[in-house]
Structure 1
């Protein structure tokens, strides 16, 4: 399937878990579709872009290591994503990467997620936190930044400053995640 055919196919993706899982399985069974999905995802002004993000997120949930050959492309371009419905799955993928990288179970992500990738994720996460994004990308960003802060000592002070500054003006969901992060940071 070429990129144009995949683009047309993405018209049939909707919010249903069943559809997203179906297309995620399609990516896993034909990994040549992953870079094509990324190409569509990074057409950041296109209404189909979020659909590519949805199926990529589901693919990563099923098999995060399938993204390894495309980490450069993903991390280089993820900061360009600006549609709300595409930001959430991209931020979730960043959280998956952070959890796999710092988690206890063995993972190929530990070898593949290079400093340049981690730095791009940190940059994108801070961008989601400081801009007027929905709460889900902000929550995923908080978790990712907390994990990356274990390695990058400058992250925690910046994260604390932003969370403290924005705490009063944000939603209940933001406050709940921020409280979890504050608690972990004070340990």
Structure 2
């Protein structure tokens, strides 16, 4: 399947779990499609970019190791993604990677370099301070909390942002922020 054929197929990808799973299975069973999915995702001004992001997130959820060969390019280009429906899956993929890293997934540990972790940190802080929806912020809070175990400066910065934004945010943000702040203070 060419990139343009895949692009047309993405017209049929929607929020339905069954639909995304069907396309994720297609990509997992045909790994040569993964770089094409990423190419479409990185057409950041195109609405199909978000559909490719949903698909990549579902692939990562089903089989995180399948996306590892794309990780360097994905993380180095992720800052360009700006459409709301595409940002949420990017933040979730970062969370998947960081959670696997801190659960001692050796394959993920061998792939994620210090530079890649820095790119995740930068993107997560950007999502926290920019006018994003709650989901990217929530995923970013969790990723930053975990990364703060190895980077002494992250927790104090995260606490500042959470406390500063607490009153202005939604109840979902407040609930997650309380949870993260409690975990930070416990440590």
User: Normalising to structure 1: TM-score of the pair?
Assistant: 0.97
Q: Which residue of 2 aligns with 1:26?
A: 26
Aligned-partner Cα distance in 2 for 1:116–1:3? 29
Q: Displacement, 1:54?
A: 0.5
Any idea what SS the aligned residue of 1:186 has? helix
> Over the residues paired in the alignment, what is the CA RMSD in angstroms?
0.8
Q: SS in structure 1 opposite 2:82?
A: coil
Superposition misfits of 4+ residues, deviation over 6 angstroms = none
Structure 1 CA distance for aligned equivalents of residues 40 and 77 of structure 2: 12
Unaligned 5+ segments in structure 1 are none
Q: Measure the CA separation in 2 of the matches of 1:152 and 1:74.
A: 22
Structure 2 gap ranges (5+): none
Q: Return the alpha-carbon distance in structure 2 between the equivalents of residues 57 and 21 of structure 1.
A: 10
Report deviation, 1:41. 0.5
Alignment partner of 1:108: what SS? helix
Q: Which residue of 2 aligns with 1:119?
A: 118
Aligned length: 186
Partner of 2:168: 169
Looking at structure 1, the residues matched to 30 and 114 of structure 2 have their Cα atoms a distance apart, in angstroms, of: 29
Cα distance in 2 for residues equivalent to 1:4 and 1:157: 46
What CA distance in whole angstroms lies between the structure 2 residues aligned with 1:88 and 1:162?
A: 19
Shift of 1:107: 3.8
What is the correspondence of 1:88-167 to structure 2 with a 5 Å cutoff? Answer: 88-104=88-104, 106-167=105-166
Provide the residue aligned with 1:186 in structure 2.
Answer: 185
Cα distance between partner residues in 2 of 1:75 and 1:66: 15
- Give, in whole Å, the separation in 2 of the partners of 1:180 and 1:78: 27
* TM-score, normalising length: structure 2: 0.97
